[in-house]
Amino acid sequence: MFSFGAFGTLNVIALVFCVVHVIRQGRNTIWIMVLIFLPGIGCLAYFVAEILPDLMNSRTARQATGSATRLVDRLGALKRAENDFALADTVDNRRNYAAELMRHGRAAEAAELLEQAATGMHQDDPGLLHDLASANFELGRFDSTLALLDRLQQANPTLTSPEAHLLYARALEGAGRDDEAATEYQALIGYFPGEEARCRFAELLTRQGKLAEAKAIYGEIVQRQKHAPRYYRQSQRAWIDIARSRM
């Protein structure tokens, strides 16, 4: 019968094998940290990213390599941010760690970190308040999101933030305050960089049954991209594709 002890022994053997392979093959030494701090999944990711392509030099293997490498990059960034925070509990380190937690879908942990930071001399810090509002939005706490963004604006009346404005409109929509959200979207599309605000406004109008207005905005998005530089079309591809599909 296979025992947990045997499983642990296999994990150690796999870890040692992978570390030796990293050193002998001259692979990126960031792998060693990943292997040590993420036993099991780290070995699996290393095998897929670094060993499997040598065994199977195929398109499928290359695609698997890319996916595994992206996973390791994300896990490595999270671990570095966690270590930095453990070494020095600064506002910047908290924000960086919280951002990585958000990328991994751990918004509740991010919100807790940011709440602890947004006190005392940092209680009106616009970056902290925006990040905390974003974490609350991801958790579906729309009223809290709106309250935090109101607090941000009151404490920093001269600050103009398209991203915070968009988050405010989305939170209003999430809270079921569609008419107010539409007003904010309409004000926002005049200066928001990119097509996200327009597209989200058109989606809201569609949901409200205002199909002609929504179609006009989708048409504007599609028309704008025809005259935009390539880098803009690439960066806005997701929103342009949505607009095309709704036409």
What is the set of domains in the chain, with CATH numbers?
1-87 (no CATH), 160-247 (1.25.40)
Listed residue (94, 105, 164, 175) closest to 133, CA to CA? 164
Q: What pTM was computed for the model?
A: 0.69
- At residue 4, the pLDDT reads 40
Alpha carbons 132 and 165: distance in angstroms, whole number: 14
pLDDT level of residue 55 (50, 70, 90 thresholds): low
Pinpoint the alpha helices (H) of 38-90: 41-46, 52-55, 59-87
Kindly calculate the radius of gyration of the chain based on its CA atoms and give it in whole angstroms: 23
pLDDT digits (tens, 9 = 90+) for 179-202: 999 999 999 998 999 999 999 999
